[in-house]
A and B are shown apart, each in its own frame.
Chain A
């Protein structure tokens, strides 16, 4: 059976809309009858990644492939890239300015949280070109 695929544009200029893609995916997975724990893992991980694309990379694209036993999420942007991924993966490490912290984000918890809630995570990034996150959650 071929996987169902959903794709989304994530606009970079409208913080209020950040999370719409994750929200839509969450509702679709519910309709498809996935178990609540898997849905929650996907929702949190994808939302963190989507917010990152909006606040750090001026938006991007999301692709979600759903199989009966796993959900694969690809988030790609053409933002500034991440110079030191190891550092970025540490809890509390953030380059977010105060303007972002005033919006409730920028604690440096997103990437570690994505790691925690996914069964697989790969980050491809190049400074000046962009970042792609591949995540997989087993259902």
Chain B
């Protein structure tokens, strides 16, 4: 699926724009960056309820293209700026983690 499909499925707001035709083959969902760093292989997208700059740094180190913040919390502008400077697309959805992952899974996205 493409990033634009993710936006449609999650009814997401785009906080940092980019190439919305970027292909997302697999994704992972976690609030623990430790686990993301340890277990993620080639997942191009991270869904998380954690809102701090280390989310973007973790995505950067893992070569991920897109971060989705779930539950519609307020995202600090500094996080958005950091993502923009690293060419990482940032989306935000009102859905909670479980629903967001479920919706994407039903849409055909897998974990690995």
Contacts and interface: CB of A to CB of B under 8 A. Distances in A.
Given A16-B78, A40-B63, A104-B32, A48 B37 contact: yes
Interface string A39-51: 0100110011001
Contact of B52 (A47, A103, A113): A103
B53 A16 contact: yes
A105 B38 contact: no
Contacts of A91: 38
Nearest to B63: A40
A15 B33 CA distance: 14
A106 interface: yes
Interface in A72-92: 91
B38 A104 contact: no
A36 B63 contact: yes
Nearest to A112: B38
Contacts of A136: none
B38 A109 contact: yes
B34 A44 contact: no
Contacts of B80: none
A132 interface: no
A130 interface: no
A104 B50 contact: yes
A104 B33 contact: yes
A18 interface: yes
* Pairs of residues from A and B, 6 with the lowest C-beta to C-beta distance, nearest first: A107-B34, A19-B57, A104-B33, A109-B38, A43-B61, A109-B34
24 contacts: A16-B54, A18-B54, A18-B57, A19-B57, A19-B61, A23-B60, A23-B61, A26-B61, A36-B63, A44-B61, A47-B37, A47-B57, A47-B61, A103-B54, A104-B34, A104-B48, A104-B50, A105-B33, A107-B32, A107-B34, A109-B34, A109-B35, A109-B38, A112-B38
